[in-house]
Structures are given as structure tokens and as C-alpha cells.
Amino acid sequence: METRELGKSGLKVSALGLGCMGMSFGYGPAGDKAEMIAVLRAAVERGVTFFDTAEVYGPYVNEELVGEALAPFKGKVAIATKFGFKIDPKVPRGIAGLDSRPAHIREVAEASLRRLKVETLDLFYQHRVDPAVPIEDVAGTVRDLIREGKVRRFGLSEAAAATVRRAHQVQPVTALQSEYSLWWREPETEVLPTLEELGIGFVPYSPLGRGFLTGKIGADTKFGETDFRNLSPRFAPQVREANLALVARIGEIAARKKATPAQLALAWILAQKPWIVPIPGTTKRARLEENLGAAAVELTPEDLREIGAAADAVKIQGARYPESMQKMVGR
């Protein structure tokens, strides 16, 4: 597996990472623990060295899963986790609001170290920008944790370009994690140019559009009761048919390249910048193999123009988050 450096941070990881959230949270019931551990270890065997989790996934159980699965590979893989939510298991999805107070950041760091079974957190993201806490205070707290040896690098998630700049002045930001795919290209406007200027890496989550770009979701697909996609306006039955036009076009191009739609969508992201590392998630070994195969798909400049034009030609219907969650992104 090719490796990439996240910006100019010195952190080199596999070109494709693995998003672990769906193994425990977000897309229905948690997967069988033994099966999920097998998928995580299979990823390591295939050359994946970058794994993404967060305390809020579960809550807590995803970090525990990742910690147990990757314990035999200490020093050989990088694990990213996140802080920034107020967690209350008694509320839906366990999320009771935002909390990036310095004291809370420290509490999360200590707890994540225990659950992940590591001495230092490789990459510690602020999960969502907290308007109640100046970003300078957040960056300063992580800077102190780095000096204490509890964290190696600082990251942000779904932060606006101006926020990234402010944070970077206090503590260099290694990576920004935000949604990016052929059906959500908004980061190209301001975020990606800012990251390139500052030498910061980019880690796209949901690079397959929460499964939509794989071609496995149809107009009549039903999601489980606890699946986040039931809440996403972009997956609403009344707009799904229109959005499938993009999937059909991607499928046509992929077939000509002897690739799957998922592989084409991932290869397109990899071709954008050499400091971009997408983190597709999966709970299945077969899908893991398929996704990793994207690294071998070569796209010519003509291919990239055609794919970009296909995406531009389809106006995606529906917001990516419900209104209550939309307020937490792009701050």
C-alpha cells in the first residue's frame, strides 16, 4: 500500500485509512465483536496503517474495539480519535451537546488512552467546533497535552477555513477531517486551498457518500431503525431517485475502467491531492478488499475531467445533515 504524508506534519500513513465508526455506531446495531476485530486486523495485513475512531461512537465501545483489535500492532499503526461532545447515554445517540472546555478535553484524552490501550494518542481531533470555547483555548490545551507526551498531533473536524487558521497559529494542525466525496464537494471552495497553503493534511470521511456511491443503495432500499441515514435529507425517498443519477453515471465510467463504482469514487479522491487520505468504513472483509483496490485504479486527466463533469451535471437533492446537526458543521 502506498503511503502518504498528511500535509507537512511528518505523519505518514497508508493512502487509504479505515473509518471504524460503523462497526459500533451510526448504521444500525453494532457488529459482532469477533468479526469486527477480524476486519480490523485484516486491514493491517493488507497494509492499512491509519484507523479512525472517537469516544462518541457507541459511545465508548468503538474505541475499546479498536484498542483491543490493534493492540498487537503498537508502533506500526496510527490511531486517530476525537473529543468535543458532551456524552449522556440517556439521550438519543448519547450526544447531549458540545463540550470542548479545556478540562473536558483532558478528561477525554485520559479516557481514550485507556480504552485504546496506548501511551500516546497519535492524532487527537476536535470532533466539532464548540462556539462556547475559543478555538485558541482548544488548540492551546492540545498543545499542552502534546508537550506532556499524551498526544502526538492535533486535528480538527468540520472546521471552517478561518477557524483552521486561528487554531494553526497556536498549535500546528496536522489534519482536517471533513466530509468530501463526489456528492459533497464544498471543501474545494475554501478549505482545500487553505490546507494546501498551510501544509495541513485532509482526511475525508464518508468518501463513498455513506454507501450511496457504491451502487448498492436503490430507490426502495430500507434502512434499519437506528441507521443515521433515516435522518439524512439526502437519503429521503422523495429525493433518492434524483440522486441516483450520479451513481448511474459513476457506474458507467467505472465499468469502462474495469473498476467498481466505489473504487472509482475513492480513486477520484486520491487523485485530487497527494496529501489527502480518505477513510472509507466497512464491516465486511469483502468490502474492505474492494475499497483497498481503489489504490490501484489509475485515472488519466481525461478520466478526471469526465468524472468531475458527471458530478457537476447532477444537482444533488437534500442536505447532508438534518437541521439540528447541520448547525455543528462548517464553523
**Catalytic residue check, 205:** no
Band the pLDDT of 136: cuts 50, 70, 90. Answer: very high
Please give the Cα distance from 127 to 130 (Å, whole number). Answer: 9
pLDDT band per the 50, 70, 90 thresholds, residue 287: very high
- 229-273, pLDDT tens digit by residue? 999 999 999 999 999 999 999 999 999 999 999 999 999 999 999
Measured between alpha carbons, how far is residue 302 from residues 19, 268, 307 in Å? 30, 12, 9
pLDDT level of residue 328 (50, 70, 90 thresholds): confident
Percentage of the chain lying above the pLDDT 70 cut: 100
CA–CA dist 88, 97 (Å, integer): 9
Give the pLDDT band (50/70/90) at residue 323: confident
Residues present in the chain in total: 331
5 phi and psi, to 5 degrees?
-95, 130
59-76 residue pLDDT tens: 999 999 999 999 999 999
What pLDDT is recorded for position 137? 98
Mean pLDDT of the chain: 97
Residue 89 pLDDT greater than 90, yes or no = no
Indicate the number of domains in the chain. Answer: 1
The residues near 19 (Cβ < 8 Å, ≥ 6 apart) are 52, 205, 279, 280, 281
Over residues 87-113, the mean pLDDT reads: 94
Residue 166 inside a domain? The answer is yes
| Torsion angle in degrees (nearest 10) through CA of 217, 220, 226, 231 | 90
Q: Quick check: is 208 in a domain? A: yes
The cell numbers describing 126, all together, are 476536535
Spot the catalytic one: 57, 60, 205, 321.
57
Average confidence (pLDDT) over 191-217: 98
Asked whether residue 331 is assigned to any structural domain, the reply reads no
145, pLDDT greater than 90? yes
DSSP state of 184: B
How many alpha carbons fall within 13 Å on the CB side of residue 137?
15
Q: What local confidence, expressed as pLDDT, does residue 90 receive? A: 85
Q: For the domain that residue 287 is a member of, what is the CATH number?
A: 3.20.20.100
The conformation of residue 227, written as its DSSP 8-state character, comes to B
224 vs 217: CA distance, rounded Å: 13
pLDDT at 93: 82
Residues forming beta bridges with residue 52, ordered by sequence position: 19, 80
Any idea of the CA torsion for 220, 222, 223, 228, to the nearest 10 degrees? Answer: 50
Distances (CA, A) of 166 to 93, 193, 198, 219, 242: 31, 16, 11, 43, 39
Question: Do the domain assignments include residue 133?
Answer: yes
Q: Which residues contact 319 (CB under 8 A, 6 or more apart)?
A: 232, 233, 234, 326
Neighbours of 61 (CB within 10 A): 17
Report pLDDT for 195. Answer: 98
* pLDDT digit string, tens, across residues 146-168: 999 999 999 999 999 999 999 99
Q: Is residue 221 part of a domain?
A: yes
Q: What is the pLDDT of residue 73?
A: 98
Three-class secondary structure of residue 276 per DSSP: strand
Residue 259 lies in a domain: yes
The Cβ of residue 114 has, within 10 Å, a number of other Cβ atoms equal to: 11
Q: Is the pLDDT of residue 330 over 90?
A: no
Of the candidates 284, 222, 206, 229, the residue with the CA atom closest to the CA atom of residue 31: 284
Task: Assess if residue 86 is contained within a domain.
Answer: yes
Q: Give the residue numbers spanning the domain of 79.
A: 3-326
Say how many C-beta atoms besides its own lie within 10 A of residue 32's C-beta: 11
The confidence score (pLDDT) of residue 269 equals 98
